[in-house]
Amino acid sequence: MNKVAQPTIVVASNKEDAARCTADLIHETLRENPASVLGLATGGTPIGVYRLLVERFLAGELDFSAVTTFNLDEYIGLGPEHGQSYRYFMQQQLFDHVNVVREQTHVPNGLASDISRHVTEYEEQIQQAGGIDLQLLGIGNNGHIAFNEPGSAAASRTRKVDLTENTIEANSRFFESAEDVPRHAITMGIGTILESRRIVLMATGKAKAQVVQASLEGPADPVNPASLLQGHAGLTFVLDPESASELQL
């Protein structure tokens, strides 16, 4: 019988330490190959990671000049200048502060006129870049990874999706009101994410404890998309003590 790969679980001493551990994994990847392809995530969780990467770049420890990046997702209807678009987020948090080449940074285009063509091209661009070396992920309270909401198939590819009420509610903190949160998004699929050579899922805070437990110790089930990562040979969860607090093992 083949042994199923077990994830590496890192429980950092606190949220800041979790960001440091995650930044270290990215740092290591770039040290091994300065022309790495990074898959990047938005949301509150990775902000501390990007701050550290910028600090290390400014200290001369990191070089992004040969790096290619692909972001997980983008809201449909928001352009790069919109303060809540994920392209804007990435420029603000990372890209504007390091020497990455703008043309080598990819975020799905929320204003694409032909979305089905755009998502096919996004997949092709990932392939042409040689695939993703390290994919950074957050996790939603409902188990979503990127905008793959509960019910998403393990084989799903980059596509247009509807956001659930849970996600609209969770993300409304960034908008004036829940009504202003876009209802649709473009997301990499779970199948796309699973093709990454290394996956680093970072979670912090008590609110993520249950979903983290279910993702690592529950059954692999589309009801909890993050659980579909189980069995990936290069999977690491970086947690703080609060998000790890429901783990049984």
Where along the sequence are the contacts to ligand PGA (CB under 6 A)? 43-45, 138-140
- 142 catalytic residue (yes or no): yes
Is 144 part of the annotated catalytic residue set?
Answer: yes
Which is the catalytic residue, given 74, 123, 133, 149? 149
Between residues 66 and 214, which has the closer beta carbon with respect to ligand PGA? 214
Closest CA to 136 of 23, 246, 9: 23
Q: Are 10 and 103 in contact (CB under 8 A)?
A: no
Task: Please identify, using beta-carbon distances, which residue of 45 and 105 lies nearer to ligand PGA.
Answer: 45
Q: Which of 73, 74, 195, 240 is labelled catalytic? A: 73
- Residue 131 or 205 with smaller CB distance to ligand PGA: 205
CB of 45 to ligand PGA, least distance (A): 3
Give whichever of 7 and 43 is closer to ligand PGA, judged by the CB atom: 43
Q: Which of 71, 106, 144, 224 is catalytic?
A: 144
Supply 201's token pair: 């899922």
Active site residue 16: no
Q: Give catalytic residue positions.
A: 73, 142, 144, 149
